[in-house]
C-alpha cells in the first residue's frame, strides 16, 4: 500500500481468542524502521559523549549503556 511518500507492507494472520475469531493486519514501514535505528544510534552516541564530558544524560538512555558508558552488548 502506498500512502503519499510512505510505503507500508501488510501481512495478515488469522487468530482466535476464545470464541472470537478474526484477522490481524500487521503493517511494516521498513524505511521508518531504519530511520528510527539511525536516530537511536545518534542519541546513544551523544549520550556517550555527554558522559565522557561529565554531564548527565536522559534517564531513558541508561538502559542502552553500562556503568562505564559503553553500549550494552546483548
pLDDT score at 6: 79
Instruction: Give the alpha-carbon dihedral of 35, 38, 39, 42, to 10 degrees.
Output: -170
Q: Backbone dihedral region of 37: left (phi > 0), alpha (psi from -120 to 50 degrees) or beta?
A: alpha
Rounded to whole angstroms, how far apart are CA atoms 37 and 46? Answer: 14
pLDDT score at 74: 58
Q: CB–CB of 56/69 below 8 Å? A: no
Q: What is the pTM of this model?
A: 0.62
Q: Count the neighbouring beta carbons within 10 Å of the beta carbon of residue 65.
A: 16
Residue keyed to cell 536522559: 58
Q: What is the mean pLDDT of each run of 10 residues along the chain (74 residues)?
A: 75 95 93 91 91 89 84 72
pLDDT score at 61: 87
Amino acid at each position: 500500500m502506498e500512502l503519499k511518500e510512505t510505503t507500508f507492507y501488510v501481512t495478515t494472520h488469522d487468530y482466535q481468542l476464545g470464541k472470537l475469531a478474526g484477522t490481524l493486519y500487521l503493517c511494516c514501514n521498513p524505511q521508518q524502521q531504519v530511520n528510527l535505528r539511525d536516530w537511536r544510534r545518534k542519541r546513544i552516541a551523544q549520550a556517550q559523549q555527554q558522559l565522557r564530558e561529565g554531564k548527565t544524560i536522559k534517564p531513558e538512555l541508561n538502559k542502552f549503556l553500562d556503568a562505564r558508558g559503553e553500549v550494552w552488548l546483548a
